[in-house]
Amino acid sequence: MKKFKSLVLIQIKDLFYNVQGSLNIKNKKLASILQLFLLGAILAPAVYFSWVTYQAFAQLNQPELVITTMYVNSSIIMFFLGIPIIISVFFFSKDIQFLSALPIEEEKIVFGKLSTVYVYLLAISAAFVLPSIVIYAVRSGFSLSIIFFGPIAFLLAPLLPLLISSFLVLLFNKLIRKSKYKNILTMVGNLVMIAVIIIIQMGITQQAADPEIITNAYLNNESLINFIGVRFPPSIWLTKMVLGSLTNTIYFIGINLLFVLILYFTAKYFFKKALLTFVEGERSRGDIYYEKKNRGMQLFKRHIMIIVKEPTFLLNALLSMVVPLIIYVVMTFSGQFSLDLLKSEQIRPFIGLIYSGIIIFPAIVSNISSTAITREGQAFWQTKVLPISSKMNMQYRILTTLVINLTGTILLGIIGYILLPVTLQMVLIGAIFAVSTNLFLAVIDFTINVYRPLLNWSHPTAAVKNNMNVTMALAIRLVLGLILFGIYKMAGAWMTNYSLVLIVLSIIFLGLYFINRFILYNKLVNRFNKIAA
Amino acid sequence: MILNHILNNIRKEGAIMLKLTNLTKVYENNNKKAVDNINLSIKQGEIFGFLGPNGAGKTTTIRMIAGILDITEGEISINGFDIEKEPIKAKSSFTLVPDHPDIFDSISGIEYLNFIADMYEVSTEVRKEKIEKYTKAFEIYNDLTQSIKSYSHGMKQKLLVTGALLPEPRILILDEPLGGLDPRSARNLKNIMREHCQNGGTVFFSSHVLEVVENLCDRIAIINKGKIIACDELKNLKENPDTTLEELFLELTENEEI
């Protein structure tokens, strides 16, 4: 047990040091303040959401349902965020072979690695489950059962999503471990897995949304919790556990224990058959060739390959390209959305705006430029010693982002053109807007990375996700959105001409792009040259 | 004999290929002088050994020469080009083999070598000849289609050395090149370094393997605590001809500590 404790401690310490390191702020006090601010920024909307949900259920005289709802929601988020993290810590971290050489049982290594994922998911539980319990307790009174079972519910909430996702990920990777394309399959397979989990959730909700079931649920108090909890039955048990039901406590702790045991007894098998086999040497890839290419093309290929060959980076890039498509498929599948909605007369004047909004999605969601230097990690030295100019070195990193994002834009543009009743003029204006937005954001994100390079990361998730640069890039989009919203509120009548608005915005973004580009290639070259691991 | 004579003349009168002038590096995070006002001149055709205890400043110096690290004070001239003022011309004159083979390793060995060849504009014929020559000498030819991820430390090192030799650089800079190499490959690399100098190239390398430095180098410099404490031909550094380089090294670095 001592070994396991040490292993868990070292993994968690490593995680915290990585998170601190990824903030990349030398002033420790400032880093702490920033961490608290970030935590607050993430927690505040979640707490508010719990509060609003509590009030809605309080009106139905069932305020405890806030706990059920928040646990169900947090579980979906945990599945969604947990799977990529599990893949990263299991299959693409650098320490798995090192750990396998230590005198410690394989199952303990698996659970030790999972401890870091648990910490991530516990943060999600702290944002959703904990506030719901606290709000319920404050408003409905602190009973002994809440004081005792509330903290247990908060601490156990991440376990089921964590254990189920881990089991599925390990099982899937066991099946594909010998494939030539195992890296791509890992990424695509797990993307499909996330989609399937969400579709099942949506499907169940849709099934439960039968008018008869809803009427019964409102008439019968007990049915309402079942109606909400049907998407994830342990949520019913967790809620009733917090309320003091011993039977449901046994159910909830029992199901958690059952999954712990399942993973514990299969961990040794998966460790050998999935984990170690996966990190073994790869097969040969084609023939030896001698082919001359343009230098720019080689640099571009190198940056693209860094993303394509690293599943965590690829998953990140792909998700940002096709998120609207996934949302559309899921919502259509679950019957929550229909294209007929867009054909209504009320929506018709906004179609051009909606189309433009959809095709700029890759530029808004994707922030891969903000990690264009960071992604290279310790290998960054390589392009620095090459006989190429710093401008060229930077240019092709930005070009990589543009090509990826514009591919997403074109893909969404074509699908949007087929599905939405848009005119050629709308497509053209949307395209101009998308190009200018992509250019501006790609350059500004890259500037962030020039100011804040982080090359000493230990696993790829730290490079592209748990990264202050990503947060800053998203903050820029938020500020931009708020400014545009402010202008919209103040401008009044002329804002109703959406084509004009989009053209004006395109000109502004292009102007900002050229200004930023000038600063980057003239004033920030020295800063770029000083970057070293 | 004639060749040696020509080479000696090149060394004596040859152009300065690498010149470090008052070179200083202070790390911002700890204000420590990692390299303290060092001066070195390496002539064309020389094999120059750069020695020093761990943490003496060898790698920092090499990283500054290669343009990876920013220079705090001083100048570095490579083949007559200032690394800060004319980085591309300077970088076209040398290739680097770092101490840790940290490269983007998801690609295959052959993809890596083609990438390097394109960066230094090596023709298809030359790259084919060189890749075959060096990878066969290092016994990694049959592994070239494998992902670099699957390579051992030594294989990565051999791949990096092959990449560094492809453009026939004026100066070959190697940081601890023998670490991780098997005896046959180490012998091959030593021969390649000699051959490179015989063809008019220059080699600047750091090493802990004193026996190699003693047998291979025309001149050596010893750095300790960021300062050059000795720089000359080995025979001139030895007060007694029977003294080994190991004894000299220990004596010099020990005296410095006192």
pLDDT digits (tens, 9 = 90+) for A213-266: 556 655 666 666 666 666 678 988 999 999 999 999 999 999 999 999 999 999
Is the predicted pLDDT of residue B93 greater than 90, yes or no? yes
* Distance separating alpha carbons of residues A108 and A267, to the nearest angstrom: 8
Return the pLDDT at A148. Answer: 92
Return the pLDDT at A61. Answer: 82
**Cβ distance of B102 and A310 shorter than 8 Å:** no
Q: What is the mean pLDDT of residues B72-100?
A: 92
Return the pLDDT at B258. Answer: 36
Q: Across the A/B interface, how many CB contacts are shorter than 8 Å?
A: 109
**Cβ distance of B147 and A389 shorter than 8 Å:** no
Query: Rounded mean pLDDT of chain A?
Result: 81
Is the predicted pLDDT of residue A181 greater than 70, yes or no? no
Across-strand partners of B42? B18
Return the pLDDT at A77. Answer: 79
Q: pLDDT of B16-31, one tens digit each?
A: 999 999 999 998 767 7
Distance from CA of A193 to the nearest CA of B (A): 25
* Distance separating alpha carbons of residues B245 and B235, to the nearest angstrom: 10
- Minimum mean pLDDT among A196-210, A421-435, A503-517, B209-223: which range? A196-210
**Cβ distance of B119 and A376 shorter than 8 Å:** no
Q: pLDDT of A64-112, one tens digit each?
A: 888 988 898 888 778 777 887 888 788 777 677 667 666 778 888 889 8
Return the pLDDT at B130. Answer: 95
C-alpha B37, offset from chain centre: 20
Is the predicted pLDDT of residue A324 greater than 50, yes or no? yes
Give CA separation, A200 vs A238, A330, A432, in Å: 21, 10, 38
Cβ neighbours of residue B170 under 8 Å, at least 6 residues apart?
B17, B44, B79, B93, B94, B201, B202
Return the pLDDT at A25. Answer: 57
Is the predicted pLDDT of residue A120 greater than 90, yes or no? no
Q: What is the mean pLDDT of residues B171-183?
A: 88
Return the pLDDT at B195. Answer: 92
Is the predicted pLDDT of residue A348 greater than 90, yes or no? no
Q: At what angle do helices A106-140 and A159-176 cross, to 10 degrees?
A: 150
List CB contacts (< 8 A) between B127 and chain A.
290, 292
* Distance separating alpha carbons of residues A265 and A186, to the nearest angstrom: 23
Place of tokens 């051999």: B158
Place of tokens 């004319």: B86
Task: Quote the DSSP letter at residue A494.
Answer: G
Query: Could you state, in order of their start, the residue ranges of all structural domains in chain B?
Result: 105-164
**Cβ distance of A385 and B149 shorter than 8 Å:** no
Give CA separation, A148 vs A130, A135, A242, B216, in Å: 13, 16, 8, 74
Return the pLDDT at A204. Answer: 57
Residue of B nearest to A27 (CA): B29
Q: Which residue has the higher pLDDT, A359 or A463?
A: A359
**Cβ distance of A385 and B92 shorter than 8 Å:** no
Return the pLDDT at B57. Answer: 92
Q: pLDDT of B28-39, one tens digit each?
A: 767 788 999 999
Number of H helices, E strands in chain A: 24, 0
A324 φ/ψ angles, rounded to the nearest 5 degrees:
-60, -35
List CB contacts (< 8 A) between B87 and chain A.
389-390, 529
Place of tokens 């202070």: B26
The structure tokens listed for B104 are 């983007």
Is the predicted pLDDT of residue A167 greater than 80, yes or no? yes
Of A233, A276, A79, A238, the closest CA to residue A168 belongs to A79
* Distance separating alpha carbons of residues B61 and B175, to the nearest angstrom: 10
Reduced to 3 states (helix: H, G, I; strand: E, B; else coil), residue A232 is coil
Tell whether B88 is within 8 A of chain A (Cβ): yes
Return the pLDDT at A178. Answer: 66
* Distance separating alpha carbons of residues A482 and A476, to the nearest angstrom: 10
Return the pLDDT at A220. Answer: 62
Return the pLDDT at A58. Answer: 87
Pairing between strand B94-97 and B171-175?
parallel
**Cβ distance of A381 and B92 shorter than 8 Å:** no
Distance from CA of A502 to the nearest CA of B (A): 41
Listed by number, the residues of chain B in 56-75 with a beta carbon closer than 8 Å to a beta carbon of chain A are 63, 66-70
Is the predicted pLDDT of residue A284 greater than 70, yes or no? no
Tell whether B91 is within 8 A of chain A (Cβ): yes
* Distance separating alpha carbons of residues A137 and B232, to the nearest angstrom: 80
Residue of A nearest to B173 (CA): A385
Return the pLDDT at A59. Answer: 85
Distance from CA of B105 to the nearest CA of A (A): 9
C-alpha A87, offset from chain centre: 13
Residue from B64, B85, B102 whose CB has the most chain A CBs within 10 Å, to mutate: B102
Of B73, B98, B104, B122, the closest CA to residue B206 belongs to B98
Q: pLDDT of A14-70, one tens digit each?
A: 766 666 665 555 566 666 676 677 677 767 878 888 888 888 888 888 888 889 888
- Minimum mean pLDDT among A369-383, B159-173, B227-241: which range? B227-241
Q: What is the mean pLDDT of residues A345-350?
A: 79
Is the predicted pLDDT of residue B163 greater than 90, yes or no? yes
Of A204, A413, A427, the closest CA to residue A324 belongs to A413
What's the length of chain B?
Answer: 258
DSSP H or E segment with residue B154: helix B153-165
Return the pLDDT at A452. Answer: 87
A425-454 core/surface letters (b: 16 or more CB in 10 A; e: else): ebbebbbbbbbbbbbbbbbbbbbbbbebbb
Name the residue facing B145 among A26, A288, A293 (closest C-beta).
A288
**DSSP H stretches of helix in A141-245:** 144-156, 159-176, 182-208, 211-219, 221-229, 234-243
List CB contacts (< 8 A) between B128 and chain A.
290
**Cβ distance of A284 and B146 shorter than 8 Å:** yes
Q: What is the mean pLDDT of residues B208-221?
A: 86
Q: Which residue has the higher pLDDT, A276 or A401?
A: A401
Query: Rounded mean pLDDT of chain B?
Result: 87
Return the pLDDT at A458. Answer: 67
Q: The pTM is what?
A: 0.72
Residues of A with CB under 8 A from a CB of B: 26, 280-295, 298, 301-302, 305-306, 309-310, 376-379, 381-382, 384-390, 529-530, 532-533
**Cβ distance of A305 and B118 shorter than 8 Å:** no
Are A146 and A60 contacting, i.e. CB atoms less than 8 angstroms apart?
no
- Minimum mean pLDDT among A173-187, A392-406, B118-132, B235-249: which range? A173-187
Q: Which residue has the higher pLDDT, A486 or A262?
A: A262
